[in-house]
Amino acid sequence: MTDLTATAIAHPNIAFIKYWGDQDPKIHLPANGSISMVMDCLGTKTSVTFDPDFVTDLLTINDKAASQKSLVRVQRFLQIIRDMANWQMYARVVSENNFPMGTGIASSASAFAALSLAATKAIGLGLSESELSRLARHGSGSACRSIPSGFVEWTAGEDDNTSFACSIAPPNHWELMDLVVVINKEHKKVGSVEGHRLAATSPFQKTRVHGSPQRLDTCRQALLTKDFEKFADIVEFDSNLMHAVMMTSHPALFFWEPASLELIKQIPYWRKKGLPVCYTLDAGPNVHVITLSQFAEEIKERISSIPDILNVLCAKPGLGARLSDRLTFC
Ligand code: PMV
């Protein structure tokens, strides 16, 4: 018997091959597969307590009552778990992040990964890693990639049962470092739910999706063989493809700020001069600068010369979602 409470932590992840657009938006069944790295050092800690006396679900994020929009999203997600387990009670969810939310660092990924694990454990539902990954996908697509450890591939699949993420290499496989260049901490105006819907309105989305199996193969192979040149080339190409789709959607989505573009222009030049470094951007202006850990200090110095940078967060490959009440900081 459980005491109806559990606490879990999970990290965000950065996609090297991106998920953008759905086959079925209701269950976040993606248009294409994706590959990512779990970002250690940044995290979400979530405690879930079910109580027979609660008359509704409650949600606190970073010590404040959550917005109605976030609450409704979490309530819908908890209902999926209640339906799975034939469970009647409501829950109190208390969540804490150590990084800014909604700015292109996947806070919804770590949030729904931690919530999936904490909520299912609290009611004694023992799910396998792939079952947890499938469940987390219902909260936010990319959350399924924050359940396994290290370097992770999400197979798009054909239906709810076949769409989940697995680890393709452990965290210690390759000493990559993600230097997250924070350019804007404002909550983004267009969320990814709306963005995925708009993807199909771009004439380039079909081409992007059609080429995704080949890009997945190239990226997986570059990761497994630690071939940085090949890796850098495919990661930047895939990010540019996704942003080309975003910019040609109706309405068009532009996430870059001038400082984002300055980095996009500088980084391939730094690479040409011999530094192992590349960029990738999610649905926000912040630039994820990927390098090898021994070059991190030199790259950070170069980044600091770019105007309008707020700060730089560092993340190395991390573990998947786990039961813990300690938010790990590096
Ligand atoms: O999981 P969502 O709905 O937040 O979508 C994530 C979309 C991107 O971050 C832009 C790409 C990705 O694969 O993480």
Q: Is the pLDDT of residue 106 over 70?
A: no
| 3 state SS of 51 | strand
- What's the pLDDT score for residue 98? 87
What percent of the chain has a predicted confidence (pLDDT) above 90?
90
- What's the pLDDT score for residue 290? 98
- For residue range 250-293, what is the model confidence (pLDDT) as tens digits? 999 999 999 999 999 999 999 999 999 999 999 999 999 999 99
- What's the pLDDT score for residue 293? 97
Lowest mean pLDDT, pick from 6-15, 182-191, 223-232, 294-303: 182-191
Is 280 close to ligand 1, i.e. is its CB under 6 Å away? no
Is 142 close to ligand 1, i.e. is its CB under 6 Å away? yes
**Which residues lie across from 178 on neighbouring strands?**
290, 315
- What's the pLDDT score for residue 330? 72
- From the CA of 242, how far away is ligand 1's center (Å)? 11
* Residue owning the nearest CA to atom 4 of ligand 1: 192
Q: Given pLDDT bands bounded at 50, 70 and 90, which one contains residue 188?
A: low
- What's the pLDDT score for residue 1? 44
- What's the pLDDT score for residue 327? 79
Is 18 close to ligand 1, i.e. is its CB under 6 Å away? yes
Q: Which stretches within the chain are classed as H helix?
A: 68-85, 107-122, 129-139, 192-199, 205-210, 212-225, 228-247, 258-272, 296-303
Distance separating alpha carbons of residues 89 and 79, to the nearest angstrom: 10
- What's the pLDDT score for residue 3? 87
From the CA of 109, give the closest atom in ligand 1: 1
| 3 state SS of 4 | coil
- From the CA of 277, how far away is ligand 1's center (Å)? 22
- Residues 185-214 have a mean pLDDT of 91
- What's the pLDDT score for residue 104? 55
Of residues 79, 74, 80, the one with CA closest to residue 111: 74
- Global pTM value: 0.96
Which amino acid type is present at position 167?
S
Distance separating alpha carbons of residues 157 and 160, to the nearest angstrom: 8
- What's the pLDDT score for residue 214? 98
Q: Is the pLDDT of residue 162 over 60?
A: yes
Is 39 close to ligand 1, i.e. is its CB under 6 Å away? no
**Which residues lie across from 164 on neighbouring strands?**
155
Is 192 close to ligand 1, i.e. is its CB under 6 Å away? yes
Is 15 close to ligand 1, i.e. is its CB under 6 Å away? yes
- From the CA of 270, how far away is ligand 1's center (Å)? 27
From 73, 180, 260, 282, the mutation candidate for ligand 1 (largest count of ligand atoms within 8 A of CB) is: 282
Q: Given pLDDT bands bounded at 50, 70 and 90, which one contains residue 107?
A: confident
* Residue owning the nearest CA to atom 14 of ligand 1: 15
From the CA of 140, give the closest atom in ligand 1: 1
